Amino acid sequence: MPREVTIAPSILSADFGHLAQDVAAVAEAGADWIHFDVMDGRFVPNITVGPDVLAAVKAATSIPMDVHLMIREPERHIEAFARAGADVITVHAEATTHLHRTLTAISDLGCRAGVSLNPATALEAVTHVLDEMDLLLIMTVNPGFGGQRFIEPMLSKVSDAADLLASVDREIHLEVDGGVTVSNIAAVCQAGATAVVSGSGIFKTASYAETIREMRSLVSRP
Ligand code: DX5
Ligand code: ZN
């Protein structure tokens, strides 16, 4: 069966003055997940939102919340995000000392567990925790802001990641995040992504539905 690609618009480029409405609109327009970017101003230079805003956004739609924690010591906050309605909680391998323990804790909270790798971080960082993972998030920009340029050399890292995940007997989503638009989504999925995040590539376009439809037509497998 051809596997449809999961499209996850990221809130970073949404209208923060009407966040719940904008999230409801993009869900209505055909998004599969909402990618919820959390930033602490320490792990990345920007500060965004926390669990209370997640709870408000969760109430605005029934599609899954794909929470991306770009924060130091994420283990201190996973329970709050789980309680607020996270479906997937992704932590950065670079931000937690005990990654195996953190992933186990996320699963014990009933959420799917993800690991994100910054562009400079090798795939080997996840070799020993594949059995604890439900999702691998490959950053194709340096995290912190929306609207950045896709770092082209990351495409080979995506295909290496696809090979790595194909070698384990476990369903692990390969999600790509940063600079993904209609202009490169086909190449990203060709490289093996099963889920794509797009912030400005969706929220900064005239019609969310049109953009998502175009993205799906570009990636639908024969
Ligand atoms: C960046 C975030 C991304 C970002 C994607 O640190 O993790 O999710 O919002 O935004 P675009 O698609 O505009 O690069
Ligand atoms: Zn993100």
Q: 1 in a domain, yes or no?
A: no
- Exposure of 172 by Cβ count < 10 A (0-12 exposed, 13-18 middle, 19+ buried)? buried
Q: 32 in a domain, yes or no?
A: yes
Cα(189) to centroid of ligand 2, in Å?
17
pTM: 0.97
- Give the other-Cβ count within 10 Å of 32's Cβ: 18
Q: 52 in a domain, yes or no?
A: yes
Supply the range of the domain harboring residue 62.
6-219
**81, two tokens:** 């995000």
32 is catalytic: no
CATH number of 109's domain = 3.20.20.70
Cβ distance 168 to 179 under 8 Å?
no
Q: 119 in a domain, yes or no?
A: yes
Total of domains in the chain = 1
Residue with CA nearest ligand 1 atom 1: 143
Q: 164 in a domain, yes or no?
A: yes
CA-to-CA distance for 202 and 211, rounded, in angstroms? 6
Per-residue pLDDT of the chain (222 residues; tens, 9 = 90+): 345 899 999 999 999 999 999 999 999 999 999 999 999 999 999 999 999 999 999 999 999 999 999 999 999 999 999 999 999 999 999 999 999 999 999 999 999 999 999 999 999 999 999 999 999 999 999 999 999 999 999 999 999 999 999 999 999 999 999 999 999 999 999 999 999 999 999 999 999 999 999 999 999 865
CA-to-CA distance for 1 and 186, rounded, in angstroms? 19
| Ligand nearest the Cα atom of residue 201 | 1
Q: 145 in a domain, yes or no?
A: yes
